[in-house]
Structure 1
Amino acid sequence: MTMSIIEKLKWRYATKKFDVAKKLSDEKLEILKEAFNLTALSYGLQTLKMVIIEDKNIRENLLLHCFNQRQVVDSSHLLVLCIQTEIDELDVNEHFNSIKVIRNTPDSILEPFKKQMKSTIVNMKTDKKIDWATNQAYIALGNLMTVCAIEEIDSCPMEGFIPKEVDKILKLESYGLNSVLMLPVGYRADDDMFAGFKKVRKQLSKTIIEL
């Protein structure tokens, strides 16, 4: 019997122990790639990239800098969400060029919006850009976790790692990127005791305000 979305969200949990023998199919991995790419982001600018790591040796090298959280190595794949180190008017130009090509929108309509967006990006201070881009990464993370639940893929969102060390190992500087979040994905182990725990959530009356 097909589970509803709410049932699948109840099924989801932050997986503590993955089954090392179970791997995501190419089809499932493609779904996660598409889901990441389709994430709703501010201005439509995609200033994020996702690094997908299957190589166990690379992940073993990351382990120490992830406080020895075994999900990093034992999952099927490790997803690392990254932000650009530089966000500037070139990103705006690329975005509007894509709009023009895909939608065939004339310059007369695009130029005012393009000019406004360039002004916003150019005048934004570096630390604000980093905060803004990082917030976008969290949106992508939430989207990926929901899609994982729908596809019955287990996942574990992680902030607990040392970004600078991870960046060095993955040579992210050469891509103009900084790591901000991780999401190990795969399938839960049969003996992960956390899988059977009931969800602890407040009642809707305590989290929802209806006006």
Structure 2
Amino acid sequence: MNSIESLQWRYAVKKFDDKKLLSSAQINTLKEAFNLTATSYGLQPIKLVVVQNKDIQKTLVAHSWNQPQVEQASHVLVFCIPKKYSNAAIEEYFDLVKKIRNTPDEIINPFKEYLMGDIDKKTQEELFQWNKNQAYLAMGNLLTVCAIEQIDSCPMEGFIAEKYDEALGLNQQNLTSILVLPVGFRAEDCYMKDLKKVRKETNDVIIEIN
């Protein structure tokens, strides 16, 4: 399938086949795609928790407004961001730039100082919202990759972050959950499987300026 056909094939799965598991290669593709996601300034203030444990997944259903896909799915991907963000993350980023690109300090420092000053001006609430936006970018990217790779998925905002954080031990890592993405294979009796996709006409959502 081409890209458009893959996106037409994709839908938010309401019932997964709980007997089918993604291969290691498929999961590695999703991990790499997550790591390659575009983020503001390339800072990557996001982490991905990959859950493949039916006992934990069953526990998480109660914290996901009883959406059964969380337990049925092959894996559950949880997008996380730092609870608190500081200039230490900027330091780590530019250390990585130097390691990978061997960029000299005289080139790095002006931009580094600009970013650190910008971070200092923002409140933790503003930084949290900024980083939260990066999680949405990452999920959008993975939804597309899933479609291209013929991996079924169901993006979720409907869950109790505090309960997820507790169940997955995120509090001890200065992380909080933002989005959840069960992935796997659609069940043959998923009622949404053969329904036509409901979308506006392209001309209704595109504004062209020539």
TM-score, normalised relative to structure 1? 0.98
Counterpart Cα distance in 2 of 1:162 and 1:174:
18
CA shift, 1:108, in A, is 0.5
2:164 aligned to 163, 166, 179, which one?
A: 166
Q: Percent identity?
A: 50
Partner of 1:116: 114
Aligned residue among 131, 136, 139 for 2:137: 139
Amino acid at match of 2:139: L
The code of the aligned residue for 1:28 comes to Q
Q: CA shift at 1:22, angstroms?
A: 0.6
Matched, 1:154 2:152: yes
* RMSD of equivalent CA atoms: 0.6
Shift of 1:194: 0.2
Residue identity in the other structure for 2:90 = V
Residues 147-200 of structure 1: CA deviation (Å, up to 9, x unaligned)? 000000000000000111111111111111000100000000011120101111
**Cα distance between partner residues in 2 of 1:89 and 1:131:** 16
Match of 2:3 among 2, 5, 13: 5
* Superposition map of 1:40-119 within 5 A: 40-119=38-117
- The one of 197, 205, 208 equivalent to 1:207 is 205
Deviation (angstroms), 1:131: 0.7
Deviations 1:52-97 (A, max 9, x none): 0001111111111111101100000000000111211110011011
**Structure 1, 82-91 or 10-19: larger mean CA deviation:** 82-91
| 1:193 aligned counterpart, secondary structure | coil
Q: Please, which runs of 5 or more residues in structure 1 have no aligned partner?
A: none
1:83 alignment partner, SS class: strand
* d(CA) in 2 for partners of 1:89, 1:162: 29
- The one-letter amino acid paired with 1:102 is I
CA distance in 1, matches of 2:188, 2:200: 28
Note if 1:125 corresponds to 2:132.
no
User: What is the rounded CA distance, in whole Å, between the counterparts of 1:189 and 1:60 in structure 2?
Assistant: 18
The runs of at least 4 aligned residues of structure 1 exceeding 3 Å deviation read none
* 3-state SS in 1 of match to 2:63: helix
TM-score by length of 2: 0.98
Structure 1 residue 184 and structure 2 residue 164: aligned?
no
Aligned residues: 209
The structure where helix makes up a greater share of residues is 1
Q: Which amino acid aligns with 1:162?
A: I
For 1:76, the aligned partner's letter is S
Letter of the 1:15 partner, please give it.
V
* CA distance in structure 2 between the aligned counterparts of 1:37 and 1:84, rounded to whole angstroms: 16
Give the letter aligned to residue 96 of structure 1.
F
